[in-house]
């Protein structure tokens, strides 16, 4: 099956955070996590997928108030943090949503993401993912994690589904105030 055929089937996108939505750096102090860097292009990619009816879910091994705040701002309703067993979280998720794994895409960057990537229909990776992940990815972004990799994946999925131009028309010719910021 081609990349485009796989992308046409996608109804849900699972994203890791560190190394996918961020550059993987975690800035901490003695009080804990201080900040993470998110890319606004990735944020728009997430909003576009949601606007197109593609559900976006975060499955991450870490817990972070910063992550929760940013993803709520983008309209992501399910942010599953502290998930050491990402495979179990994914299987529970698709069961509750009555989806097949082949209807899901996943972007991960490191070994903990592999169990989900190996199950989903469209495994994706940023260009700087570890080799084990790159070897499993059907889609590898030309961009690094935290630098637009999610946006590039979103655009590829939306174009394959024939939704990209329709969304751009909505943004530029009939925008809803503050929806795409």
Six-digit token string for 14: 């699972």
pLDDT of amino acid 101? 97
Of 115, 116, 78, 74, which Cα lies nearest the Cα of 96? 78
Q: What is the pLDDT of residue 166?
A: 87
Across the range 154-179, mean pLDDT stands at 83
Helices within the chain (DSSP H only): 3-8, 40-51, 65-74, 86-97, 114-119, 131-134, 149-160, 164-173
Question: Considering the domain boundaries, does residue 36 fall inside one?
Answer: yes
> What is the CB neighbour count within 10 angstroms for residue 81?
16
Determine the longest span between alpha carbons in the chain, in angstroms. 50
Q: Give the pLDDT confidence of 111-151 residue by residue, as tens digits.
A: 999 999 999 999 999 999 999 999 999 999 999 999 999 99
Flag whether the pTM goes above 0.85.
yes
The pLDDT of 155-167, averaged and rounded, is 95
Q: Is the pLDDT at 37 greater than 70, yes or no?
A: yes
Average pLDDT rounded to a whole number, residues 21-33: 83
Report how far residue 106's alpha carbon sits from residue 59's, in angstroms, rounded to the nearest whole number: 10
Which distant-in-sequence residues (6+ apart) come within 8 Å of 85 by Cβ? none
Pairing of strands 55-59, 12-15: parallel
Residue 181 inside a domain? The answer is no
In a domain, 57, yes or no: yes
With respect to residue 153, please indicate whether it lies within any of the assigned structural domains: yes
In a domain, 178, yes or no: no
Across residues 5-21, what is the average pLDDT? 97
Read off the CATH number of the domain in which 17 is found.
3.40.50.1000
Quote the number of domains for the chain.
1
Q: Domain for residue 144, yes or no?
A: yes
pLDDT over 90 (residue 106):
yes
97 in a domain, yes or no?
yes
Q: Tell me the average pLDDT across 67-84.
A: 94
Rounded to whole angstroms, the Cα distance separating 92 from 98 reads 10
Per-residue confidence band for 175, with pLDDT thresholds at 50, 70 and 90 = low
Domain around 50 = 3-172
Report the pLDDT value the prediction gives residue 176, as an integer from 0 to 100: 66
């Amino acid at each position: 099956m081609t990349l485009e055929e796989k992308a046409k089937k996608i109804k849900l996108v699972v994203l890791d955070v560190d190394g996918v939505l961020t550059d993987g750096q975690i800035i901490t102090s003695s009080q804990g996590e201080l900040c993470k860097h998110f890319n606004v292009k990735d944020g728009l990619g997430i909003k576009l997928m949601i606007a197109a009816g593609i559900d976006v879910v975060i499955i991450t091994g870490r817990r972070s108030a910063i992550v929760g705040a940013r993803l709520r701002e983008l309209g992501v309703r399910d942010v599953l943090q502290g998930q050491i067993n990402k495979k179990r979280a994914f299987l529970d998720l698709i069961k509750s949503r009555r989806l097949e794994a082949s209807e899901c895409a996943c972007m991960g960057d490191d070994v903990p993401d592999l169990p989900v990537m190996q199950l989903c229909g469209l495994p994706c990776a940023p260009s700087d993912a570890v080799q084990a992940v790159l070897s499993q990815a059907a889609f590898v972004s030309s961009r690094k994690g935290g630098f637009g990799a999610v946006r590039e994946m979103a655009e590829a999925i939306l174009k394959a589904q024939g939704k990209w131009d329709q969304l751009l028309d909505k943004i530029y010719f009939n925008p809803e105030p503050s929806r795409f910021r």
